[in-house]
Amino acid sequence: MGAYGLVRINMELLPHAHSIFSPWLIIVGTMQIIYAASTSLGQRNLKKRIAYSSVSHMGFIIIGIGSITDTGLNGAILQIISHGFIGAALFFLAGTSYDRMRLVYLDEMGGMAVSIPKIFTMFSILSMASLALPGMSGFVAELIVFFGIITSQKYFLMPKILITFVMAIGMILTPIYSLSMSRQMFYGYKLFNAPSSYFFDSGPRELFVSISIFLPKILCRHSDSNRDALALLPKSSVSTDFTIAACSKS
């Protein structure tokens, strides 16, 4: 909601002020990507790790909004939609896992894939989506943000190279903490302290909710409008409404 407020209020009602303060938005977004991704690596609590990863992804949204380009804004809006689904699904599965295992700290987990294979499958797929795996909407969103900041006419070449370099580091750190989280949760041979009565897999209700949240990330990626937008990425004349149209038409 905060990122959407930046688009609807800052950019539309206060465009001149937004243009003046956009370099500060870029700085905040760049720091946010590295700080939150580095902090997420040190979190033992499962929900805290997911929360810090969400903060790190918000940095890409802020950079896209601060790029002052149609392309960057398209990527930011698509990232808002995409990460909204991914974050909600990951928190939902984290809560579902806690209901089954009564464990929230990663160093107490291990081998959960054997006990809850359906949750393991959905969590693994959503972790791949969170780290912007090609084929998912998160990959398209971050790619468009990259093109948006590179093609921006507001910033000099060296700042754009530095920002792109920091964003690339953030994209490298994302699979590190995401895959590490999956490894600590689902792999290994640790014994559980939780009662065996909680070792039951997800039912139809949890599967329905998880799949319903997951499908839009695939549909937004494979819509015709989205593919047409990718072909026009180097141009600055891409309509700012294509992202919403891409998701609605799919």
Residues 107-134 pLDDT 10s: 888 877 877 888 888 899 889 888 888 8
Q: Tell me how many degrees the CA angle 206-208-212 measures, rounded to the nearest 5.
A: 120
Closest listed residue to residue 206, CA positions, set 146, 145, 130, 121: 121
Q: Does residue 242 register a pLDDT over 60?
A: no
What single letter denotes the amino acid at residue 18? Answer: H
Q: Does residue 3 register a pLDDT over 90?
A: no
What's the half-sphere exposure (Cβ side, CA atoms, 13 Å) at 188? 16
| Domains of the chain, residue spans | 2-249
* CA–CA distance, 160 with 180 (Å, rounded to integer): 31
What's the half-sphere exposure (Cβ side, CA atoms, 13 Å) at 236? 9
Give the mean pLDDT of 175-195.
Answer: 76
